[in-house]
Amino acid sequence: MGAIFKRELRSYFTSPSGYIFLGLFLLLSGIYFSFGVILSRSSDFSAFLDSVRFIFLIIVPILTMKLMSEETRQKTDQLLYTSPVGIGNIVLGKFLAAFVLFLAAFAVILCYSIVIIVFGDFKVWESIGASLGFILIGGCFIAVGVFISTMTESQTVSAIATFAVLLLFWILEPLKSGLPQDQTSGIVFACILAALAVYALFTATKDRLVAGISGIVLVAAIALTAIFMPAGYSGFIAAVLGWFSLLKRQQSFSLGLLRLDDTVYYVSFIFVFLFLSVRFIEKRRWM
Partner 1 sequence: MITVEHLTKEYGKRKAVDDIGFTIPDGEIVGFLGPNGAGKTTTMNIITGYISATSGSVVIDGLDILENPEEVKRKIGYLPEQPPLYGDMTVDEYLGFVAELRGIPKKERSGARDEAMELVAVADVRTRLIKNLSKGYRQRIGLAQALIAKPRILILDEPTVGLDPKQIAEIRDLISKIGKERTVILSSHILPEVSAVCHRVMIIDRGRIIADGKPEMISSGLEGRNRVSVRVACAKSAEAKTLLEGIAGIETVTDSGSIEDGSFDFVVEAKPEADVRKDIFFALSKASLPLLGMRVVDLTLEEVFLRLTTREGEEA
Residues in contact with 255: Cβ distance below 8 Å, sequence separation at least 6, in sequence order: 126, 129
On whether the CB atoms of residues 152 and 69 are closer than 8 A, the answer is yes
Binding part of the chain for partner 1, among 82-90, 139-147, 156-164, 214-222 by CB under 8 A, reads 82-90
Identified binder of partner 1 from the candidate list 19, 26, 54, 83, rule CB under 8 A: 83
The number of CA neighbours under 13 Å toward the Cβ of 35 is 7
Q: How far is it between the farthest Cα atoms of the chain?
A: 69
User: Does residue number 17 form part of the binding site for partner 1 (CB under 8 A)?
Assistant: no
The number of CA neighbours under 13 Å toward the Cβ of 125 is 5
The pattern of x and - marking residues 55 through 74 that bind partner 1 according to CB under 8 A reads: -------------------x
Distances (CA, A) of 284 to 130, 278, 287: 39, 10, 5
* Nearer CB in complex with partner 1: 84/174: 84
On whether the CB atoms of residues 154 and 202 are closer than 8 A, the answer is no
User: Does residue number 80 form part of the binding site for partner 1 (CB under 8 A)?
Assistant: yes
User: Does residue number 4 form part of the binding site for partner 1 (CB under 8 A)?
Assistant: yes
Q: Is 210 strand, coil or helix?
A: helix
User: Does residue number 205 form part of the binding site for partner 1 (CB under 8 A)?
Assistant: no
* Nearer CB in complex with partner 1: 92/130: 92
Handedness of CA 12, 13, 16, 19 (dihedral sign): positive
User: Does residue number 81 form part of the binding site for partner 1 (CB under 8 A)?
Assistant: yes
**Residue 101 CB, nearest distance to partner 1 (Å)?**
16
**Residue 159 CB, nearest distance to partner 1 (Å)?**
19
Vertex 226, ends 223 and 230: CA angle to 5°?
Answer: 175
Identified binder of partner 1 from the candidate list 118, 227, 231, 287, rule CB under 8 A: 287
Identified binder of partner 1 from the candidate list 19, 27, 35, 86, rule CB under 8 A: 86
User: Does residue number 77 form part of the binding site for partner 1 (CB under 8 A)?
Assistant: yes
* Nearer CB in complex with partner 1: 11/225: 11
Positions in the binding site for partner 1 (CB under 8 A) = 2-4, 6-7, 10-11, 14-15, 74-86, 285-287
